[in-house]
């Protein structure tokens, strides 16, 4: 894509009404536009990042048997009253129509998915079933100071699974946990799975997936030696104590952000909606249900918090809007040839073809944060190619197109 075709522009000053690093950088770089506290629109560059993250999540969910759907966002209040969430869950938005009917907008979708599943699950042969979607969620959050990490409107992947037995749920739970860890690794992050208490209606254990960042709103304890991690809120252990799991590490405390959460919902919702199936002995029983969430927009915010420096964002290759940022310094014809070649090699490239100073192009390139910067200038051409630099490094090298292509192929 040519920069001149992007309608967004970068800005030099931080927005005055944002305290979080992710929102400040994403707004300055033109990835998102703030509508109001906790509500953001995603602009072309931001959309590309979201689509990359969503593609990773989609691949991993499909690989464990998830069936993608899109559930309605506008819900009648009835199923919410049926489960008790209408009165008990404080973040539920309540809408009254002109005909005085009550509605809500999805904040989680057990109330929608269970009646759908009820239509199709009749026998043990229909199980297990895992249904997921990637879509907008709405929550009446009190605090919205963490930029896109805590929205009143945000994007979530939510999956719901139905099982014949507790054993089958446990099997799937372990499979999903591994898939979750792969999602975060593929996004360039290291996530720890905590052991924490369940959600509003269950006493069962759940896993929270935590990424260490000072921008996080959770306090966790983690082991210096093994993968043990717990939310301080629920842990009986304290910082400095020895790890009870591996017996050799020590527990440290840190701020972290919850980028995903998986729950054993038991039979709460299947009972609320009288969803039963005929088991092998012909008896009508309730399936065990699980819920698996990933905060897509929060994940993007956490990536910015973890991968940025004083000059701007430093996108990991897997989620960068473009891999290459090609800058022309007064050599438009030659730079355009590089652009054509990069395009035909299938390398996603943002081409800064604007008529602005070299300083502005370099500054914007650091702010936007593509993994590779490729500069075509009179000097670079005299040396036999373009000046290639990774966003994470300070040294550049001269490369002919063939060398650049090889370099990018080997990453």
Judged by the rule CB under 6 A, the positions of this chain that interact with ligand ATP are 108, 139, 141, 150-151, 154, 156, 258-261, 293, 295, 297-298
Q: Give DSSP secondary structure letters for 256-304.
A: EEEEEEEEEEETHHHHHTT--EE-TTS-EEPPEEEEEEEEHHHHHHHHH
Nearest distance from C-beta of residue 216 to ligand ATP, angstroms: 9
Tokens of 192: 């720890």
Query: Quick one: 172 or 277, whose CB is closer to ligand ATP?
Result: 172
How far, in Å, CA of 31 to CA of 321, rounded?
10
- Tokens 């008529």, residue located: 355
Q: Are 75 and 112 in contact (CB under 8 A)?
A: yes
Nearest distance from C-beta of residue 234 to ligand ATP, angstroms: 12
Q: What b/e sequence results for 187-215 when a residue is b if at least 16 CB atoms lie within 10 Å of its CB, and e otherwise?
A: bbbebbbbebebbebbeeebbbbbbbbeb
279: left (phi over 0), alpha (psi -120 to 50) or beta: beta
Query: Quick one: 37 or 398, whose CB is closer to ligand ATP?
Result: 37
Nearest distance from C-beta of residue 136 to ligand ATP, angstroms: 11
- In the bound state, the residue with its beta carbon closest to ligand ATP is 295
User: For residue 67, what is the DSSP state?
Assistant: E
Query: Quick one: 79 or 260, whose CB is closer to ligand ATP?
Result: 260
Query: Quick one: 295 or 369, whose CB is closer to ligand ATP?
Result: 295
Query: Quick one: 124 or 209, whose CB is closer to ligand ATP?
Result: 209
Nearest distance from C-beta of residue 373 to ligand ATP, angstroms: 31
- Tokens 């073809």, residue located: 353
Query: Quick one: 152 or 391, whose CB is closer to ligand ATP?
Result: 152
How far, in Å, CA of 117 to CA of 270, rounded?
9
Query: Quick one: 39 or 407, whose CB is closer to ligand ATP?
Result: 39
Q: What b/e sequence results for 393-409 when a residue is b if at least 16 CB atoms lie within 10 Å of its CB, and e otherwise?
A: eeeeebbeeeebeeebe
Query: Quick one: 4 or 41, whose CB is closer to ligand ATP?
Result: 41
Nearest distance from C-beta of residue 214 to ligand ATP, angstroms: 16
CB hemisphere CA count around 211 (13 angstroms): 27
Neighbouring-strand partners of residue 158: 133, 293
Nearest distance from C-beta of residue 153 to ligand ATP, angstroms: 8
Tell me, rounded to whole angstroms, the distance of Cα 184 from its chain centroid. Answer: 8
Nearest distance from C-beta of residue 292 to ligand ATP, angstroms: 9
Strands 324-329 and 67-68: unpaired
Nearest distance from C-beta of residue 258 to ligand ATP, angstroms: 4
């Amino acid at each position: 894509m040519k920069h001149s075709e992007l309608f967004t522009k970068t800005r030099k000053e931080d927005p005055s009404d944002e305290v979080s690093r992710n929102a400040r950088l994403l707004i300055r770089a033109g990835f998102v536009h703030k509508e109001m506290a906790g509500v953001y629109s995603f602009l072309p560059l931001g959309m590309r990042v979201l689509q990359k993250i969503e593609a990773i999540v989609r691949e991993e969910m499909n690989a464990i048997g998830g069936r993608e759907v899109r559930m309605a966002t506008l819900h009648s209040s009835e199923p919410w009253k049926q489960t008790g969430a209408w009165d008990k869950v404080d973040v539920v938005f309540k809408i009254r129509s002109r005909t005085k009917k009550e509605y809500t907008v999805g904040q989680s979708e057990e109330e929608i998915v269970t009646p759908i599943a009820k239509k199709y699950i009749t026998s043990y042969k229909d199980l297990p079933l895992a249904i997921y979607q990637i879509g907008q969620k709405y929550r009446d959050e009190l605090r919205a100071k963490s930029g896109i990490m805590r929205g009143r409107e945000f994007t979530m992947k939510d999956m719901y699974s139905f099982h014949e037995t507790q054993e089958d749920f446990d099997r799937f739970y372990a499979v999903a946990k591994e898939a979750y860890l792969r999602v975060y690794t593929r996004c360039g992050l290291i996530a720890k799975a905590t052991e924490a208490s369940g959600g509003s209606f269950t006493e069962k254990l759940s896993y929270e997936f935590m990424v260490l960042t000072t921008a996080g709103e959770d306090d966790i304890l983690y082991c210096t030696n093994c993968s043990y991690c717990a939310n301080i809120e629920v842990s009986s252990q304290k910082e400095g104590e020895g790890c009870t799991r591996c017996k050799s590490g020590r527990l440290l405390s840190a701020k972290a952000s919850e980028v995903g959460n998986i729950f054993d919902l038991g039979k709460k919702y299947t009972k609320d909606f009288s969803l039963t199936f005929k088991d092998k002995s012909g008896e009508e029983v309730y399936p065990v249900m699980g819920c698996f969430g990933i905060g897509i927009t929060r994940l993007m915010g956490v990536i910015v918090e973890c991968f940025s420096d004083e000059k701007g964002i430093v996108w990991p290759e897997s989620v960068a809007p473009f891999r290459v940022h090609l800058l022309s310094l007064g050599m438009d014809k030659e730079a355009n040839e590089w652009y054509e070649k990069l395009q035909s090699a299938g390398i996603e490239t943002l081409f800064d073809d604007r008529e602005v100073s070299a300083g502005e192009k370099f500054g914007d390139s650091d702010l936007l944060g593509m993994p590779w910067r490729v500069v075509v200038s009179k000097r670079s051409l005299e040396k036999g190619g373009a000046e290639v630099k990774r966003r994470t490094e300070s040294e550049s090298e001269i490369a002919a197109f063939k060398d650049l292509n090889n370099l990018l192929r080997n990453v």
